[in-house]
């Protein structure tokens, strides 16, 4: 496959890390007010969490690429059919928040030309290693999704699975996605469903109510941030209803579609237990998959 180098030439990790930090520090110095400093500190804490906890990297229990791939698509068994990783032959794909890199690898296997981007050093390292292990060729960039070091209108697809619900300044990310997508390009991915059984039972009931966290004054967003991820210390998660995510995406893109998948709940001592339910009657799954087009 012929590879177009990304315009910024920022493929060296040290260089990109510098870009991220300077971007944030400059903005803070120019307006040193309390609100901005605390926003900057919050961003740093968010990034720090993702620098030690990236799903499916299996730091504690090393696994090979094929094992990770099987684990992911057996567990989240709707993904291959819904995202059609093999439908982008020769197309330019950007993955925002590539984490362990398993989906980026899938796009490359399917014939796409990819740029995988994440602001966590652990994530970009994991993605790089995974692609190497799979003998796959793709660019990997360390950068913040709110400030993409990428030229306008160059991608056919921007994909972001389980990421934008962890970004408080989600509008900043959506602006950037719109900027780098070509006209008629597709933005797709997943956010957590606030109208799901996992949210209501596993997070709000088991943690928020039964453990008394809501009674102690924690907000709903504090509770979901604390318990949406496997590892402790997550700083920010906002789950969306179907209408909320459709309305948000509709401000930036056209032809927005949202569907619900992944019927699972977390039980005490066991996570992601699948449940059977007539999906024609309900949309109680934990994942809202969105598709939106740049018009
Ligand atoms: C829940 S993980 C999902 C990873 C991967 N997409 C997956 O499905 O396994 C969230 C990922 O988003 C990345 N992330 C969060 N906020 C980001 C931001 N503002 N810019 C870039 N990456 C971000 C984190 O570093 C982490 O790798």
Q: Enumerate the domain spans of the chain.
A: 13-293
Q: Distance from the CA of 153 to the center of ligand 1, in angstroms? A: 22
For residue 207, the tally of other CB atoms under 10 A from its CB is 18
Q: Could you identify the residue written with the tokens 């730091």?
A: 59
Mean pLDDT value across residues 59-76 = 91
Q: Which fold has domain 13-293?
A: Rossmann fold (3.40.50)
pTM recorded for the entire structure = 0.89
H-only helix segments in 63-150: 65-75, 79-83, 102-109, 121-133
Q: Could you identify the residue written with the tokens 């030309």?
A: 113
Determine which residue's CA is closest to atom 14 belonging to ligand 1. 97
Q: Distance from the CA of 96 to the center of ligand 1, in angstroms? A: 7
The predicted-structure confidence for 189-231, as pLDDT tens digits, reads as follows 999 999 999 999 999 999 999 999 999 999 999 999 999 998 8
Rounded to an integer, what distance in angstroms lies between the CA atom of residue 42 and that of residue 36? 10
Task: Compute CA distances 271 → 35, 191, 265, 274, whole Å.
Answer: 37, 18, 7, 9
C-alpha dihedral, 229 to 233 to 234 to 239, nearest 10°: 60
Confidence of residue 281 (pLDDT cuts 50, 70, 90): low
With a cut of 80, say whether residue 258 has pLDDT above it. Answer: yes
Q: Distance from the CA of 172 to the center of ligand 1, in angstroms? A: 15
3-state secondary structure of 225: helix
Determine which residue's CA is closest to atom 5 belonging to ligand 1. 99
Residues at CB less than 6 angstroms from ligand 1: 50, 54-56, 97-100, 118-120, 123, 144-146, 161-163, 166-167
With a cut of 50, say whether residue 27 has pLDDT above it. Answer: no
């Amino acid at each position: 496959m012929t590879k177009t180098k990304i315009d910024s030439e920022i493929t060296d990790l040290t260089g990109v890390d510098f870009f991220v930090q300077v971007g944030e520090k400059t903005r803070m110095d120019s307006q040193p007010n309390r609100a901005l400093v605390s926003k900057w500190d919050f961003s740093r804490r968010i990034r720090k969490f993702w620098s030690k906890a990236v799903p499916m990297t299996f730091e504690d229990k090393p696994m090979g690429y094929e094992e990770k791939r099987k684990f992911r698509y057996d567990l989240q068994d709707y993904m291959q059919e819904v995202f059609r990783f093999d439908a982008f032959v020769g197309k330019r794909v950007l993955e925002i928040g590539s984490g362990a890199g398993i989906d980026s690898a899938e796009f490359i296997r399917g014939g796409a030309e990819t740029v995988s981007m994440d602001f966590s050093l652990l994530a970009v390292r994991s993605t790089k290693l995974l692609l190497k292990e799979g003998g796959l060729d793709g660019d990997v960039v360390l950068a913040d999704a709110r400030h993409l070091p990428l030229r306008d209108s160059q991608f056919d697809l921007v994909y972001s699975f389980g990421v934008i619900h962890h970004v408080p300044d989600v509008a900043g990310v959506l602006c950037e996605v719109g900027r780098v997508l070509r006209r008629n390009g597709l933005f797709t991915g997943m956010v957590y469903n606030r109208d799901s059984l996992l949210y209501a039972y596993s997070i709000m009931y088991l943690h928020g109510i039964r453990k008394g966290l809501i009674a102690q004054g924690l907000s709903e967003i504090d509770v979901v941030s604390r318990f949406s991820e496997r590892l402790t210390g997550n700083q920010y998660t906002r789950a969306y209803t179907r209408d909320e995510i459709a309305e948000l995406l509709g401000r930036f893109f056209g032809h927005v579609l949202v569907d619900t998948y992944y019927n699972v709940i977390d039980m005490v001592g066991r996570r992601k237990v699948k449940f059977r339910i007539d999906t024609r009657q309900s949309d109680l799954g934990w994942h809202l998959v969105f598709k939106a087009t740049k018009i």
